[in-house]
Amino acid sequence: MALFCRAALRYVPASGRPAMADGIEVDITDGRSVDLPGWPVCGFELFTHESLVTDWTDDEAVASVHHGEIEDLARKLSGADVALVSSHIRRSPKDALRHQQLSPITFVHSDFATGHDRVIRRNLQEGGETAPALVRNGISLSDVERARRLVILQFWRNLGPARMDYPLGFCDARTIRPEETRAFPVTNYAGSGSNFDALGVMTPDDPSRHRWYAFPDLQRHEVVAFRTYDTDLVARGETFFTPHSAFRDPRVEVGKPARTSIELRATCLWL
C-alpha cells in the first residue's frame, strides 16, 4: 500500500457554512496500490473507459455522444434497467470564470442528502434538460415514478495533464457512518437553476478512521465511478454516499497545471 500524499482536508463544522471548516492533515493512499472491493462496497472504483468524444469543450458533442456512453456504462456497472444522464459539469480555470462553483470543491461532502429521489422525480416532472435522456432511453415519466430502486452513480474524468493541483480524493464508504454528516441547502447550483440538499461530512474525533484514496496520473481513457445515492441503502439506514473532496497536491504548484475535469451523474433505475 503506497501513499499518494499527505494533505489537508476540510471537514465541515457542526453548524454554519460548510466551506468555513479548518483543514485536517490526513494520509491519502494511492488507490492503484491496493486491492479495493469495488464501488458497491467501498463506494468508488477506477475503470478504463474509452470515449468517442474528441473535443471535450464542445458541449453539444459531449451531450450527443458522451451522455449515452455513460448511460451504457452505468447500466453495465449497476445492473439497472435504465440509466439517465441529463447534464455534465466541467471544472477548469476557464469554467470557473463563468461561475465560482465550477472550481474544485475543497471540503468533504457528498452531493445528495436523504430524500433526493423525490427531488429527482420532481425535476423529471418539470422536464427541461431531462427530456432528451427519457427519449433516448425510451421511457416515460410514469416509468420513473414507479421505479422500485434508484441509484446515482457519478463519473469523474481527468481531461488535463496526468498530475494536477487539486485532484479528487474519495473516502471508503465502509469507514464512515450517516450520523457523521449534516445536510445543507444548495440553491441554483453553478447558475443551473438546480436546488437540492447536499451532505457535509463533519470533523471526525479520529481523522485516521476515515480511509482516503486518490488515483495518481489519471489518463483521459480512465474514469472513477462513485455512488452518491441509493434508495435501498437509505431505507436501511446505511451509508448511501461516498464522501469526496478536492485536495491540494503538495507536489504541484497551484495552477501549474490546474485541474481540468468533467463529471456526469447517471440516475440508475430498476423498473
Structurally, how many domains does the chain consist of? 1
**CB-based contact 18:184 (threshold 8 Å):** yes
Across 90-105, average pLDDT? 94
User: Which secondary structure element, helix H or strand E, spans residue 151, and what is its range?
Assistant: strand 149-158
pLDDT for 142 equals 86
User: Kindly report the CA angle at 113 between 107 and 115, in degrees rounded to 5?
Assistant: 170
pLDDT for 132 equals 84
Give the CA diameter of the chain: 51
User: Which secondary structure element, helix H or strand E, spans residue 40, and what is its range?
Assistant: helix 39-42
Phi/psi of residue 10, each to 5°? -100, 105
Q: How confident is the model at residue 189 (pLDDT cuts 50, 70, 90)?
A: confident
Q: Is the peptide bond before 93 cis (omega within 30 degrees of 0)?
A: no
pLDDT at 147 over 80: yes
pLDDT for 129 equals 67
pLDDT for 1 equals 86
The rounded mean pLDDT for the chain is 93
Q: Which residues contact 124 (CB under 8 A, 6 or more apart)?
A: 130, 134, 141, 144
Cα(210)–Cα(244) distance, rounded to whole angstroms?
11
pLDDT at 195 over 90: no
Collapsed DSSP state (helix, strand, coil) of residue 239: coil
Q: How confident is the model at residue 19 (pLDDT cuts 50, 70, 90)?
A: low
CB atoms within 10 A of CB 218: 24
Across 56-66, average pLDDT? 96
Nearest to 271 by CA among 144, 180, 100: 144
In a 10 Å sphere around its CB, with 0-12 CB exposed, 13-18 middle and 19+ buried, how is residue 71 labelled? buried
- The more confidently predicted of residues 17 and 111 is 111
Residue 120 is part of which domain span?
A: 3-270
pLDDT at 249 over 70: yes
Cα(154)–Cα(151) distance, rounded to whole angstroms?
10
Cell of 140: 416515460
Collapsed DSSP state (helix, strand, coil) of residue 264: strand
pLDDT for 165 equals 97
Write the CA distances from 76 to 20, 21, 71, 72, integer angstroms.
Answer: 39, 38, 9, 6
Across 41-50, average pLDDT? 98
Nearest to 14 by CA among 200, 149, 142, 185: 200
What is the length of the chain? 271
Torsion sign across C-alpha atoms 47, 51, 56, 58: negative
